[in-house]
Structure 1
């Protein structure tokens, strides 16, 4: 099997590369913004026609949530037009596409975990553009896997590393205690994606670690596992002014995985413990 990964230098791209290399029998084509501009339809068709991948896994995205509010055109180009180009080009050669999406397609006003059957209602430019990317992929390529995830951490800059750095260098760390989600390791998410592709389990899926917590609870667990004595102070979202509206409750239930091939993700605390043990 030949697999092309966009955004290969990002956290998820690196983990997918690692896991596929360990499996073997897969030819990887690794691209990032310097080698493939997914917003350029001609470049995308040229790459796809020259390399003929069986699957594209699109990990490329404009993920700077606040910046998207002011950088609207680029947000739409990268998060919506890019997936459109990839989906159409792969459809032209009969190939498959994995589109990585986000909990931000929901507004966070629910009182129970979101299912894949719940109607998206994004409340930010980032969420809207990611949802529009989903819609393009669904429309333009029937062989699609749309995987929504949240609070992702892996090999790269992320919340876990930020908390450790802040805890080491500050007498007090403030973290919001009124936003809830499911911290997710790229290890778990990559396994979900690989399993979906192997089983040709097309459709929309949620892919997060099990369980839920606030950002404050997440930070508290990080410091506890690291054995760090940090003065951690809970605060409200209003104390951290941001351009984009954050979902207050964006817990995703991996319901479609449960109904089909099974949910292979771990509890978020177990995955976090493994990540910290392996963190250099």
Structure 2
């Protein structure tokens, strides 16, 4: 009886054995060696192979390995029989664990990135086939991790002694397990690592790869090819052209579209080619602000060039299978921002005019960074809204809170309408209401802290005039 299609987990996490139905008659046999829909339903990762390789082994005893490659693969046989061996060489607690199996044409093995693969032909004319999800290049060998076939600590029970087996000189010289450097996990890449959110992400993810201008510029697609995308496990795009007023000028409009759309498109295509999960930071500016609270289901309706480019960017990112679009508002982090400006004005005796007819919530960069990583690791792909929680306030009300914290009366902030504030200037249209519904994000398991509490904590880090950090903290 032929096997029933099934997927089995082995003692090595992610290393899967696949039972394949082989249907035969007097003419020979037939099998579905790779059936994406059926196998994914049974638990095989959707690893999207891009290359098929075949290794012919003329005689029994031909032995190859052990190679841990920087991609996933599905190995199977077109004819013959093998003894297959696999050793986990990934960084982590499973390092050095092994699994072995005699493989015929009615089974396949899914080998995840970083698990060393080796085999020995047990019959002449064995044809070994494997699908991989990265194109092989000569330079790819530099990313392999090798293990000696005869390592005594693993003690693979090769059916045919390696003394009699046909083994290449290179394979005989691979290092013992004690000398193997484990294959590191795929990296997280933060694009726009020097922005307010980017800095918070890099502080939280010290092993992440931070990409910043001028070495990496989204408006210059050629710089994208300086990154080894095959080694990347997650992209967080925190880069954007955000000069909303300048974007309304002829030159600014071109730069805004080049960065937020054309450059993003090139980045999305790299993610698509290498199957990289993608987090994209978007904005409340994709809405016209006529609704008091915006949900993820609200149709987008941007008012100005910046909002239009963010909306177009969302459409690009949404074409990726694994994407998280995170809309946020009124970001406050390390660097120049509204809160620091208001604190400086309060400290220097200025009474500023601040708009009182735009409403929303602040988003502190550290909380946004934490929420972004929560969504990328715990929530299904999709679109999410993320700001700090708490009361909805106008910019003028927030400025008044800053003034009070700095010892100035709230009345020293002079409320003004947006129309009055922008009269005579070429200002971009802004949403009247920027408040984002947090229900979907909270349901995912992340509850943003209150913005008022975070504001007080943030202001406490900004020294008062004439007092140093030590005196203030005491």
TM-score of the aligned structures, taking structure 2 as reference length: 0.55
Q: Map 1:127-138 to 2 at 5 A.
A: 127-138=307-318
TM superposition shift of 1:149? 0.5
Q: Map 1:113-124 to 2 at 5 A.
A: 113-124=293-304
TM superposition shift of 1:58? 0.8
Is contact 1:216–1:234 with CA below 8 Å preserved after alignment?
yes
Q: 1:16 — aligned with what?
A: 201
Q: Distance in 2 between matches of 1:170 and 1:238?
A: 25
TM superposition shift of 1:126? 0.5
TM superposition shift of 1:145? 0.8
Q: Distance in 2 between matches of 1:143 and 1:83?
A: 16
Q: Distance in 2 between matches of 1:13 and 1:237?
A: 30
Which of residues 202, 218, 228 is equivalent to 2:381? 202
C-alpha RMSD over aligned residues: 1.6
Matched residue SS, 1:35: coil
TM superposition shift of 1:263? 3.5
Q: Which has the higher helix share?
A: 1
Matched residue SS, 1:187: helix
Q: 2:371 — aligned with what?
A: 192
Change (3 A) 1:153 1:138: same
Is contact 1:206–1:252 with CA below 8 Å preserved after alignment?
yes
Structure 1 stretches of at least 4 aligned residues deviating more than 4 Å after TM superposition: none
- Unaligned 5+ segments in structure 1 are 22-26
Which of residues 244, 262, 267 is equivalent to 1:81? 262
Matched residue SS, 1:136: helix
Q: 1:24 — aligned with what?
A: none
Q: Deviations over 1:241-269 (max 9, x none)?
A: 1421011111111232133x224201110
Q: Deviations over 1:32-79 (max 9, x none)?
A: 121212223333244243x62111111111111100111111111111
Q: Distance in 2 between matches of 1:200 and 1:243?
A: 37
Matched residue SS, 1:278: coil
Alignment partner of 1:60 is 2:239: yes
Mean alpha-carbon deviation: is it higher for 31-40 or for 164-173? 164-173
Which of residues 272, 280, 285 is equivalent to 1:99? 280
Q: Distance in 2 between matches of 1:158 and 1:79?
A: 21
Q: 2:451 — aligned with what?
A: 268
Is contact 1:12–1:190 with CA below 8 Å preserved after alignment?
yes
Matched residue SS, 1:55: strand
Q: Which has the higher strand share?
A: 2
Q: Map 1:1-280 to 2 at 5 A.
A: 1-21=186-206, 27-49=207-229, 52-70=231-249, 71-110=252-291, 112-139=292-319, 141-199=320-378, 201-211=380-390, 212-229=392-409, 231-241=412-422, 242-259=426-443, 261-280=444-463
Q: Distance in 1 between matches of 2:275 and 2:348?
A: 52
Based on CA coordinates, which of the two structures has the bigger radius of gyration? 2
TM-score of the aligned structures, taking structure 1 as reference length: 0.92
- In the comparison of the two structures, how many residue pairs are matched? 271
Is contact 1:39–1:85 with CA below 8 Å preserved after alignment?
no
- Unaligned 5+ segments in structure 2 are 1-185, 464-474
TM superposition shift of 1:196? 1.2
Mean alpha-carbon deviation: is it higher for 95-104 or for 233-242? 233-242
